[in-house]
Amino acid sequence: MSAIEQGNWAEAEWMLSQAIETCPIDSVAREHYAETLWHRGQREEALAQIEEAIKLRSDDPALEVRAAEMLLVLGRADRAEAHVRWALTLDSQLPSAWLVLGQVRGQAGKTDDALTYYHRALVMDPDDRAALQALAELQERLGHPEKSLINWQMLAGTYEAGQQPPEIQMALGKSYHANGRFEEAAESFLAARERGAPAIEASHRLAAAWQAAGRLDLAQRASAEAVALEQQARASNTLAARPSSTASINAPAPRSAPTTLR
């Protein structure tokens, strides 16, 4: 666990494999081993370990939900739904289970079901960030920008002022723009850029927001910044693509053709 906290995933994977070998019936070790495997891209192996953990701890709804999340990513929605419905049989008040069930139904095109389950998750935990984001994105896809904005605002409100991640600020800015609130959109794009969002995209969106708000001077400035950033990126890519002069100096000289003796 210390290795995981320090980001030493390879070391954590080896240690947890040793723990399982030492005690195969340790469900907690298998659960953490599954997460290290998943983090390192070994998804089928991770799923196998989480399912082994479930066999050892069959009364834990959180494990069922995690298995469902993995299966959903792997495109096995039917199995995911079976796991999450069993989780709800074990604990019908588990917000994460309702969230994943909503994701399963949404992936199947059952948007009304998805909306119902996301709302149910939020009744149990109004600050559930994953559920707020899922609901905001779904409302956006359904063409309900005003409802989507409410959920993005609620999601942003779960963070301390000025601490919202850049991707949340970008999404909030897009939602403000879709609702015709262009100055608020610009403020969100500016905050997103300052907090590390992709600067070129944020600058282009900032320019579009200021343009729509009638602030042409600010729009021109943001557009010029976007163009300058694009030029810098192209120059960096060109430089990176050039062969190193050191490599040319150190490259072996071409061999001369062998002389044929007659």
Helix (H, G, I), strand (E, B) or coil at 202: helix
Q: Is residue 245 part of a domain?
A: no
State whether 146 and 169 are in the same domain.
no
| 118 in the same domain as 138 | yes
- Which secondary-structure segment (H or E) carries 19? helix 9-22
Do both 171 and 104 map to the same domain?
no
Q: Which letter does DSSP use for residue 251 in this model? A: S
Same domain, 26 and 78: no
Output the DSSP codes for 84-152: HHHHHHH-TT-HHHHHHHHHHHHHTT-HHHHHHHHHHHHHH-TT-HHHHHHHHHHHHHTT-HHHHHHHH
Locus of tokens 């095109």: 109
Of the three residues 158, 180, 200, the one that is the final residue of a domain is 158
Q: What is the mean pLDDT of residues 134-156?
A: 97
Is residue 63 in a domain? Answer: no
Indicate which CATH number applies to the domain containing 110. 1.25.40.10
Residue 51 has pLDDT above 50, yes or no: yes
Count the domains in the chain. 3
Q: What is the mean pLDDT of the chain?
A: 90
pLDDT of the residue at 193: 94
Q: Do residues 85 and 146 both lie within one domain?
A: yes
pTM of the complete model: 0.82
Specify whether the CB–CB gap between 12 and 40 falls below 8 A. Answer: no
Q: What mean pLDDT is predicted for residues 182-188?
A: 97
The more confident residue out of 59 and 253 is: 59
Domain of residue 12 covers 8-58
Q: What pLDDT does 4 receive? A: 85
157-181 pLDDT, tens per residue?
999 988 999 999 999 999 999 999 9
Rg (CA), the chain: 26
pLDDT classification of 242: cutoffs 50, 70, 90: low
Q: Confidence band (pLDDT; 50, 70, 90) for 236? A: confident
Q: Mean pLDDT across the stretch 243-255?
A: 49
Residue 248 lies in a domain: no
